[in-house]
Structure 1
Amino acid sequence: MNPRMAGRPFLINLPSEIIINILSRLSIRAIISCKCACKQLLDLLSTPEFATSHLSLSTPGLLINQSGASGNLSQIFEFEDAFELEHHNLHYNPVLKFDPNLSGCVSDASSWIWGSVNGLLCLQDYRSKLYDALYICNPITREYIALPWIDEIVEYPSIGEYGFGVSMTSGQYKVLRNVRRHSYDFEEGPCSSFKKYECLVHTVGTRSWRKIPDAPVGYSSISFSLFLNGNLHGFLQDFLYSTNSSIYCFDLEAESFKPFPPPPPSLDSPALGTLGILDDCLCFVDSSSQDADIIVIWVMKEYGVGKSWTKQFVIEEALGFAGLYCDSVYAMKVFKDGDILLNRNINSLFYFSSKTKTCHKLEVVIQDQNGCIEAITHNSSFLSLKSLDAENVTSF
């Protein structure tokens, strides 16, 4: 729809629910243009009813966060998924650029994105002067809130990881915080053994964190950052002390952990892999093959059912793109033409061409060899943080 037509009486005089239904089907950039057309549309597009309608019809896009010597830059893209596109880079339509450094307390702060849910991002400024500076942000509405920081004395070297999701029952948005504290042994190294392990959860709109008992412990990874079906999922790897690897999920409504069925064969060896989501299904990317240039992608066709794990893709000739123990591969999207978008964590974005059966770097963004690239799927939305009863909503 041409935004210049938006102010004409034949549209404005329609019932609001019909206008909302029509506008909810437009692209993000078109909706933003409509907001500038007239005050009536601006008011209508700012309502919770429109935000809910648009979110129900929207599809995931791509959010890329790049950090380097010059700071951070985040970009949002909408996917153009069509068979007739000649070049893979044409799959991506730019929507928005923004600076994820929300604290403003240091000019060179670097931000990490721990999750995206319904258009909201959980950000951490990990060079901030404030310990654990966490924010919930909507880059489309240009709103954010600062989560309460935890007043504590750090006695040991710490590694903190986070997850962000929403309860399917109560609709409450929650942040999960996992922290490993280690003893310092000059002979064995700074992270030679566990000293303390903590798991906390925060409900957005409150001003407190709560302790979660009986959390699973993994030396190499305890991140529960993958949200699906009301649960946060994590792949626990314990390369140092045992050969066990396992999948757990955290139920955001019950606020409890439970084991999750792994793909076959069972993860009773130190497999190298990552969890992801493809077409609303949980997937597991196994890049631990003895052949360093092979990546296997398993997909759970029926959520929570172990027998539904299916070996969906085998990507060969991936030399130079397959992951290492600290540099793993994440599956992000399968396009209609069969191309698969993948992310080699903190290193590069690349895709596997179904036609040539080869891997290529994604050229839609400049990939700085000295910088880091973080990429996640992201549903842009017009959901206002004020609707969550959150305190101190700030514009940026």
Structure 2
Amino acid sequence: MNPTRCESPFLINLPSEITISILSRLPIRTIISCKCVCKQFLNLLSAPEFVTSHLSLSNPGLVIRQYGVKDDMCQIIEFEDEFDLQHHNLRDNGVMKFDPSLLFGFTDFELGIIGSVNGIICLHGKEKETKKHDALYLCNPIIREYVALPRIEGIDDYPYSCNYGFGVSRISGQYKVVGNVHRRSQDHQAALHSTTRYHECFVYTLGTSSWRSVQRGKLFGPSHNLFSLFLNGNLHGLQECENSNLMSISCFDLESESFKAFPPPPPPPIDLSANGALRILDDCLCFIDYSLRDNTRVIWVMKEYGVMESWAKLFVIPGSQDFVSFYYTIYPIKTFKDRDILVNFSDEKLSCYCYKTKTFKWLDFVIQNQYRWTEAIPHSSSFLSLKSFDGQNVELLVCSSNVLMTM
């Protein structure tokens, strides 16, 4: 076939919207191959109309990061909501896997996942040796593009910690990274006798070139949340209540760029900071209570967003030999049609909890023993180009065979 033309009269004569609808339903790997067929396909598959159509039909999946002392690996998978009922193995469709550090052409930083929105992954890195010098990246690994975000000015002036979130505003559709910086008091004499801190919130809008300070206040306090919790145009996290060891839900509106009150989780144990975690499960806020002394895990969901009365128990997972320690946790990721649930087991293994048998089964498509830690969050692959945001310096990812591999 001539690489500059598509010779099939059938494809040439079809209206472009029908062709786009057909191609949008193909697996990711097939679409990538179609881009190499001819220039007409390449142009069609790069058009905004195709990007929008494909995103609306994109199969839900996961981005999984597994890492140990030396090794680090990410993989992207898509799900089919089906089970082998006899052997109870989850069927998956692997899209690609890559080393998140080598992907950017350097090895002195270790990268963690902040969040994923519409195929764009936000990554946070620190120097491996010093654990300092934050680096932030927005990346679409499917089309091998990334943007390195500038640093927030002044956060190395004195001891600090910084939590990040990533999402898209509900009305304007702007993609934003939020940084909540916890700084110690600049009064060095006071700092010697107290842990006084102030908190400042910064926002970076994709398509700009700098951070903006928008408000002082708390966004994410100490908690078990490893990722930003983006839902319904807002970022969420657990936050310590003042003058109390209890926790509340903090909510940051990406449209107004302000904090707002949010209904708390269900009646809590005495100390949520040690015995609870917040997650998102099937597009609902989810609170996991693992405070009971018999190691029972109770999973609550807020069925109607923002309505306190809609908190309801979804699962009660009784204690078992799988919970070898009181501090072992389960972080739910996805529920399936037969009420089984995919969970991250203590940030170490991905497992499927069988509702009928009340047992866990490790997933065989994920390497479970080579790596010490596992992160996994929902992810839908897309062909959204970072070049569509004016003002960004878009770089291409390293593409050697031992760094990035389409599965």
User: TM-score, normalization: structure 2?
Assistant: 0.85
Would the aligned equivalents of 1:157 and 1:191 in 2 still touch at CA under 8 Å? no
How big is the shift at 1:295?
Answer: 1.1
Q: What 5-or-longer segments of structure 1 have no aligned partner? A: 1-5, 184-189
User: Which protein has greater RCO, CA pairs closer than 8 Å, 6+ apart?
Assistant: 2
Would the aligned equivalents of 1:334 and 1:341 in 2 still touch at CA under 8 Å? yes
1:91-136 Cα deviation digits (max 9, x unpaired): 3221111222268574253110101000001111222698211000
Equivalent AA in structure 2 for residue 96 of structure 1: M
Q: SS at the partner of 1:298?
A: strand
Taking the aligned partners of 2:96 and 2:370, their CA distance within structure 1 comes to 23
Deviates more, 1:119-128 or 1:269-278: 269-278
Taking the aligned partners of 1:7 and 1:137, their CA distance within structure 2 comes to 35
Deviates more, 1:304-313 or 1:272-281: 272-281
Q: SS at the partner of 2:127?
A: coil
Corresponding position: 1:273 with 2:276: yes
1:215-240 Cα deviation digits (max 9, x unpaired): 2266523967111110011112469x
Match of 2:179 in 1: 177
Match of 1:187 in 2: none
Match of 2:71 in 1: 71
1:237-280 Cα deviation digits (max 9, x unpaired): 469x7322100210000001112112322576436222222222
Q: SS at the partner of 2:195?
A: strand
Equivalent AA in structure 2 for residue 285 of structure 1: I
How big is the shift at 1:150?
Answer: 2.3
Deviates more, 1:246-255 or 1:23-32: 23-32
* Aligned with residue 315 of structure 2, among 309, 313, 316: 313
Taking the aligned partners of 1:8 and 1:258, their CA distance within structure 2 comes to 56
With over 3 angstroms needed to count, the CA separation of the structure-2 counterparts of 1:24 and 1:103, relative to structure 1, is closer
How many correspondences in the alignment?
A: 384
Taking the aligned partners of 1:58 and 1:143, their CA distance within structure 2 comes to 19
1:332-386 Cα deviation digits (max 9, x unpaired): 0001222211113532222211232112333321124763211111010010011
Q: Counterparts of 1:325-364 in structure 2 under 5 Å?
A: 328-364=329-365
Would the aligned equivalents of 1:83 and 1:337 in 2 still touch at CA under 8 Å? no
How big is the shift at 1:159?
Answer: 2.4
With over 3 angstroms needed to count, the CA separation of the structure-2 counterparts of 1:36 and 1:355, relative to structure 1, is farther
Taking the aligned partners of 1:35 and 1:144, their CA distance within structure 2 comes to 20
How big is the shift at 1:63?
Answer: 0.9
Taking the aligned partners of 1:213 and 1:67, their CA distance within structure 2 comes to 35
How big is the shift at 1:166?
Answer: 0.3
Taking the aligned partners of 1:346 and 1:65, their CA distance within structure 2 comes to 10
With over 3 angstroms needed to count, the CA separation of the structure-2 counterparts of 1:88 and 1:388, relative to structure 1, is farther
With over 3 angstroms needed to count, the CA separation of the structure-2 counterparts of 1:122 and 1:217, relative to structure 1, is closer
Taking the aligned partners of 2:166 and 2:280, their CA distance within structure 1 comes to 15
Taking the aligned partners of 1:365 and 1:278, their CA distance within structure 2 comes to 21
Q: SS at the partner of 2:179?
A: strand
User: TM-score, normalization: structure 1?
Assistant: 0.87
Deviates more, 1:227-236 or 1:61-70: 61-70
Match of 1:365 in 2: 366
Match of 1:258 in 2: 260
Would the aligned equivalents of 1:204 and 1:388 in 2 still touch at CA under 8 Å? yes
Taking the aligned partners of 1:145 and 1:366, their CA distance within structure 2 comes to 29
With over 3 angstroms needed to count, the CA separation of the structure-2 counterparts of 1:140 and 1:38, relative to structure 1, is same
Corresponding position: 1:62 with 2:100: no
Q: SS at the partner of 2:161?
A: strand
Q: Counterparts of 1:1-396 in structure 2 under 5 Å?
A: 8-101=8-101, 104=104, 106-127=106-127, 131-152=133-154, 154-182=156-184, 193-216=195-218, 220-221=222-223, 225-237=228-240, 242-265=244-267, 269-270=271-272, 272-292=275-295, 294-321=296-323, 328-368=329-369, 371-396=372-397
Deviates more, 1:373-382 or 1:8-17: 8-17
Q: What 5-or-longer segments of structure 2 have no aligned partner? A: 1-5, 186-191, 398-407
Deviates more, 1:79-88 or 1:130-139: 79-88
How big is the shift at 1:177?
Answer: 0.8
Taking the aligned partners of 1:296 and 1:257, their CA distance within structure 2 comes to 28
Identical amino acids, percent of aligned pairs: 56
How big is the shift at 1:17?
Answer: 0.5
Q: SS at the partner of 1:75?
A: strand
Taking the aligned partners of 1:359 and 1:57, their CA distance within structure 2 comes to 31
Taking the aligned partners of 1:322 and 1:237, their CA distance within structure 2 comes to 28
Match of 1:186 in 2: none
How big is the shift at 1:26?
Answer: 1.9
RMSD: 3.0
